[in-house]
Chains A and B, each alone.
Chain A
């Protein structure tokens, strides 16, 4: 941290001492009140003993450490956000006049939706937009952290802050800078308006309950002692009060909350509202999209399955012909697979020239119509064993032979199928793979088994979520058998096969009706309604704008499997908050044995309670030192979070309770005794 940053944090921490600001945090507000009472009392009575001064200073430190941790954690997040904002606002743009084509240089803030700007090699795209002209390599590392430039051309979206590496493009501005994604999020983080999630609100109620309980105890303890004719020392009373108040959680509450947003930011996930992060912790049901979320989304061919009456070689050849012109990742993968197996030979030219029918989501098939009648037929016939001599003469569809590959159900409708078709299709599906039917002439001759590779580590993460009792549902367009096999492999109990994107919406709705909190990912226009109602909707930055608008989180790296990570971040946030609360409350037990004796020193019970055997005023000072310094000591834990363990909620609870609950009971006794002995060794008293 720079000196300037340090000063900012210090300044901010003092500004936040204002009671007007602190009132939002009842615990810290009451602690500050106690400090003021102690201060006014000693000022009014002229109390200037080192003991009194030490108490007042330590009371102040307790409150100040709280605002300091607030200011510090916010500063860290804010500086990351500010970096984004300042970078975004400092850009200039080459605005193109639509009529004359003349260019003027304007600052990015001046741009309005609809403006056309030109960005040349080496320049930074100042604002979110859509390419209208040109193709360029773009480095998006500033926003996504992905250092390999991506090629983008007309109609592709570009993100403000990314850099054009080669060529030049014309970009149509879609949003003003103020509305652009990065700025909006950065502003959100800076504004520090962090709406509370349900669990956090309830925790707030609970912490307030303890604040009221200890306030009651202190007020009536004072009144009772007075009624009995004993005037308690107000300084010790206030010291006791602040020690009992759950200041540890009160001071760190904000830092914990902010750490969630910061952690997502590190993961390149931008939360559009703080609430989304809080919701992530409350998630009960995760709707998994198969493709992308749990699998790489690239289906790799693993096996060729010839159907009755056909050979493997024939199927390979047909697959090859139908894929030569196929630019989809799948088509390319098939070519690669065939090459590696040595099936490739023959005349590519003919296949390349043949009219190609592209794959579309509607037809769910692609392939070629081989032209064999224009004199080239012989060569093709010779190089492909697949093509029968008779095919050359038996005219088919204007002399074109269809060679297609596609979804089995579609292909079955369009071509003849051998008897063992269904059996082989199911066999592949049962492996958790997808069958791709390959047809030649008028018949499906074989199948290609495409296996979707599971993402690395995804199984372990799913097991972790499952052990916590979070329900996982796999929603996939796959055939029932495939879906079942994949669900089984992942250990997911519930799956929805042959699902359309609209189904996501209705599933999410149903689960929410049961009061459950849903997390899901999406990128298409069809996903938008579901993303909009999901408590945690993670959209892909590579996806459509509609989806990004509907979702409450966007992954800049467009990795759907991050949904699981996002949920874990939220859980970690919650667990951290709960554990520090338990720690804070557990600490109070020691205070009854350390500070209470000083307050009732005139009674024999004081000596009985005093298990640490420190002189009473040393005990009070030590307890206050512990109580104040435990706050900065726990900042790293608050920011890093309590590690997530596998296990049922009760198991996780038991573990965290043993560490933070039991630890919270024992630690202060040891620490206060240690501090007290140190004070005595240094002859400070």
Chain B
């Protein structure tokens, strides 16, 4: 398959996901209107969110430490819980040898629901801060998200079973590489952009990913919820053209990167084929799902570089919830730049962007490179000779570990070899910072925007966010800002 054919295939997959996500957004909107909750203060909202997340983590941890591998290694247990709580699913353990199916579902599997539900709720609040000048109620948003997520998981589990993925409920008490509730785990991990399957070899095994059709299904699953939030945004601000502009910005960013990364991957799973393996990997990086079906070390340096870039963008379309928050940050930064370069005060959908808003967005944007650089230094300084993280491929592996943690991607070179106390603690910190700085700053911004009254008729006049020009501006700023911050590390790792 040549580049052009691959570009077509990839675009078709993305467009199909956009189409499928439309009814999901309709359902989200319908349920949100139906259950319209009280408007909470931002403090109350955050408290509820934190309690919800902490409670789930405690339950998950309690189940997890019933297994010896975790009970004897608390840093690993905490790392695992944080990893799944943040939707990262970085695994410093092999699922099939440490956990039974039921144990997985009750601990980490539970968090595979909590992460996307939290993300969707925050995104919904950000959207309604624009459309209705209110944050809404976290618990109501979580309820709506749960219903939609459960429905999607049910539908895609059935589809997975139909396409040949095993769903064996009799094997709940067992572990190892054998049939179990794989269809369920696959769909919740992919739909929630979590990325952690039961098996440590990811989606390479025919048992987890038996054929090309299941790969296509999996690729679509990763895109559906992130895309549905973009639909919801346009629906609620009554401007579907804004949604179109965002899709254009995403497609124009994602497709060229994916096509540039299209190469023959040595050792791609034969039941899937090279092209679909490429597509699955690119989407998994773009959505920061982190599900893999090939060994990362078998990727070419160019692929590694481009996949790291896709992870770092975090908004093509990014993972459930946080991707949308990142997209909004980018929109605001772009609007601000456009305003500066055209001599206008920045307005976003009729709301004045104040210096404070710009400061919040700037801090959010800065937080990522700061945690990546600091985390990478900490990881390399403490790992010593353990990981041979010297320039080139060794450095790439460690860079990947850090970027993957900070952007809640979860794919990694090390797997169970990464199970050292230092790396467990460092990546735990990175995963938490990477997720919650974005979510909480996103919420704070939603609060600031909800406070700022929209002025009628300004949005068109200043910067029309529903225009193709704006889509291109978004794309350009996305590239310049992200490449500027990550480039030196690429020069030390995959490019070296």
Enumerate chain A interface residues (CB-CB to B < 8 A): 198-199, 201-203, 205-206, 208-209, 212-213, 216-217, 219-221, 223-224, 227-228, 281-282, 284, 468-471, 514-517, 570-575, 577-579, 581-582, 585-586, 588-589, 592, 596, 600, 603-606, 608-609, 644, 648-654, 656-657, 660-661
Of the listed residues A201, A589, A606, A649, the one surrounded by the most CB atoms of chain B closer than 10 A to its CB is A649
Which of B336, B365, B480 touches A585 (beta carbons < 8 Å)? B480
Check A582–B485 contact: CB distance below 8 A: no
Check A227–B381 contact: CB distance below 8 A: yes
A contact residues around B338 at 8 Å (CB): 649-650, 653
B contact residues around A216 at 8 Å (CB): 366, 369-370, 373-374
Which of B355, B380, B480 touches A198 (beta carbons < 8 Å)? B355
Check B340–A574 contact: CB distance below 8 A: yes
In the assembled complex, the Cα of A320 lies from the Cα of B476 at a distance in Å of 69
Check A515–B352 contact: CB distance below 8 A: yes
Known: A216-B366, A600-B491, A654-B469; 19 extra A-B contacts, CB below 8 A, are A199-B340, A199-B345, A202-B358, A217-B369, A282-B345, A284-B461, A514-B453, A571-B344, A575-B340, A578-B337, A589-B484, A596-B491, A600-B496, A605-B496, A650-B467, A651-B342, A654-B473, A657-B476, A660-B341
B contact residues around A651 at 8 Å (CB): 342, 469
Closest CB of chain B to A467's CB: distance in Å?
11
Which of B336, B344, B480 touches A469 (beta carbons < 8 Å)? B344
Check A586–B480 contact: CB distance below 8 A: yes
In the assembled complex, the Cα of A604 lies from the Cα of B341 at a distance in Å of 39
Of the listed residues B338, B381, B460, the one surrounded by the most CB atoms of chain A closer than 10 A to its CB is B338
Check B340–A516 contact: CB distance below 8 A: no
Task: Identify 30 residue pairs between A and B in the complex whose beta-carbon atoms are under 8 Å apart, listed by A's number.
Answer: A198-B354, A201-B355, A202-B355, A203-B340, A206-B336, A206-B358, A209-B363, A213-B369, A221-B373, A221-B488, A224-B376, A224-B377, A224-B380, A227-B380, A228-B391, A282-B345, A514-B453, A575-B340, A578-B341, A586-B480, A596-B491, A604-B496, A644-B343, A648-B464, A650-B470, A651-B469, A653-B342, A653-B463, A654-B473, A657-B341
Check B492–A224 contact: CB distance below 8 A: yes
In the assembled complex, the Cα of A206 lies from the Cα of B336 at a distance in Å of 9
Report if A206-B362 is in contact (Cβ < 8 Å); known contacts: A198-B354, A224-B377: yes
Which of B337, B343, B467 touches A468 (beta carbons < 8 Å)? B343
In the assembled complex, the Cα of A596 lies from the Cα of B359 at a distance in Å of 29
Report if A578-B469 is in contact (Cβ < 8 Å); known contacts: A217-B485, A469-B461, A653-B338: no
Check B369–A603 contact: CB distance below 8 A: no
Check B491–A656 contact: CB distance below 8 A: no
Interface positions, chain B 441-496, Cβ under 8 Å from A, are: 452-453, 455-456, 458, 460-464, 467, 469-470, 473, 476, 480, 483-485, 487-488, 491-492, 495-496
Check A515–B491 contact: CB distance below 8 A: no
Q: Which residue of B lies closest to A577 (CB)?
A: B340
Closest CB of chain B to A207's CB: distance in Å?
10
A-contact bits for B50-75, CB 8 A (1 contact / 0 none): 00000000000000000000000000
In the assembled complex, the Cα of A134 lies from the Cα of B168 at a distance in Å of 109
In the assembled complex, the Cα of A586 lies from the Cα of B341 at a distance in Å of 14
B contact residues around A468 at 8 Å (CB): 342-344
In the assembled complex, the Cα of A596 lies from the Cα of B489 at a distance in Å of 11
A contact residues around B336 at 8 Å (CB): 202, 206
Q: Is B339 an interface residue (CB 8 A)?
A: yes
Q: Which residue of B lies closest to A221 (CB)?
A: B488
Which of B355, B392, B484 touches A588 (beta carbons < 8 Å)? B484
B contact residues around A588 at 8 Å (CB): 484
Check A572–B496 contact: CB distance below 8 A: no
Closest CB of chain A to B223's CB: distance in Å?
28
In the assembled complex, the Cα of A654 lies from the Cα of B344 at a distance in Å of 14
Check A575–B342 contact: CB distance below 8 A: yes
B contact residues around A600 at 8 Å (CB): 491-492, 496
A contact residues around B376 at 8 Å (CB): 220, 224
Closest CB of chain A to B18's CB: distance in Å?
24
B contact residues around A220 at 8 Å (CB): 373-374, 376-377
A contact residues around B455 at 8 Å (CB): 514-516
Report if A605-B492 is in contact (Cβ < 8 Å); known contacts: A213-B484, A574-B340, A657-B341: yes
Check A605–B491 contact: CB distance below 8 A: yes
In the assembled complex, the Cα of A203 lies from the Cα of B338 at a distance in Å of 12
Of the listed residues B340, B363, B480, the one surrounded by the most CB atoms of chain A closer than 10 A to its CB is B340
**Nearest 8 A/B pairs, CB to CB:** A578-B340, A469-B461, A571-B343, A220-B373, A514-B455, A649-B342, A652-B342, A578-B341
In the assembled complex, the Cα of A205 lies from the Cα of B336 at a distance in Å of 11
Closest CB of chain B to A133's CB: distance in Å?
50
Q: Which residue of B lies closest to A650 (CB)?
A: B469
A contact residues around B22 at 8 Å (CB): none
B contact residues around A282 at 8 Å (CB): 344-345
Check B495–A205 contact: CB distance below 8 A: no
Closest CB of chain A to B156's CB: distance in Å?
40
Q: Is B390 an interface residue (CB 8 A)?
A: yes
A contact residues around B460 at 8 Å (CB): 469
Report if A572-B343 is in contact (Cβ < 8 Å); known contacts: A516-B455, A596-B491: yes
Report if A592-B343 is in contact (Cβ < 8 Å); known contacts: A198-B354, A649-B463, A657-B473: no
Q: Which residue of A lies closest to B360 (CB)?
A: A205
Q: Which residue of A lies closest to B493 (CB)?
A: A605
B contact residues around A653 at 8 Å (CB): 337-338, 341-342, 463, 469, 473
Check A205–B342 contact: CB distance below 8 A: no
Q: Which residue of A lies closest to B473 (CB)?
A: A653
Check A213–B485 contact: CB distance below 8 A: yes
In the assembled complex, the Cα of A199 lies from the Cα of B469 at a distance in Å of 22
Check B495–A609 contact: CB distance below 8 A: yes
Closest CB of chain B to A74's CB: distance in Å?
23
Check A592–B487 contact: CB distance below 8 A: yes
Closest CB of chain A to B373's CB: distance in Å?
4
Closest CB of chain A to B350's CB: distance in Å?
9
Which of B355, B362, B453, B492 touches A603 (beta carbons < 8 Å)? B492
Check B491–A603 contact: CB distance below 8 A: yes
Q: Which residue of A lies closest to B376 (CB)?
A: A224
Check B391–A515 contact: CB distance below 8 A: no
Q: Which residue of B lies closest to A644 (CB)?
A: B343
Of the listed residues A205, A281, A581, A644, the one surrounded by the most CB atoms of chain B closer than 10 A to its CB is A205
Q: Which residue of A lies closest to B333 (CB)?
A: A206
Q: Which residue of B lies closest to A572 (CB)?
A: B343
Of the listed residues B389, B391, B455, the one surrounded by the most CB atoms of chain A closer than 10 A to its CB is B391
B contact residues around A581 at 8 Å (CB): 340
Closest CB of chain A to B203's CB: distance in Å?
31
A contact residues around B458 at 8 Å (CB): 284, 514, 516
B contact residues around A656 at 8 Å (CB): 341-342
In the assembled complex, the Cα of A603 lies from the Cα of B392 at a distance in Å of 8
Which of A212, A582, A596, A603 touches B337 (beta carbons < 8 Å)? A582
Which of A514, A575, A589, A657 touches B343 (beta carbons < 8 Å)? A575
A contact residues around B359 at 8 Å (CB): 205
Report if A469-B366 is in contact (Cβ < 8 Å); known contacts: A603-B391, A657-B341: no
Q: Which residue of A lies closest to B467 (CB)?
A: A650
Check B380–A228 contact: CB distance below 8 A: yes
In the assembled complex, the Cα of A323 lies from the Cα of B464 at a distance in Å of 55
In the assembled complex, the Cα of A652 lies from the Cα of B341 at a distance in Å of 7
Closest CB of chain A to B353's CB: distance in Å?
8
B contact residues around A205 at 8 Å (CB): 355, 358-359, 362
In the assembled complex, the Cα of A514 lies from the Cα of B345 at a distance in Å of 13
B contact residues around A648 at 8 Å (CB): 464
Report if A650-B342 is in contact (Cβ < 8 Å); known contacts: A198-B354, A227-B381, A586-B480: yes
In the assembled complex, the Cα of A228 lies from the Cα of B383 at a distance in Å of 11
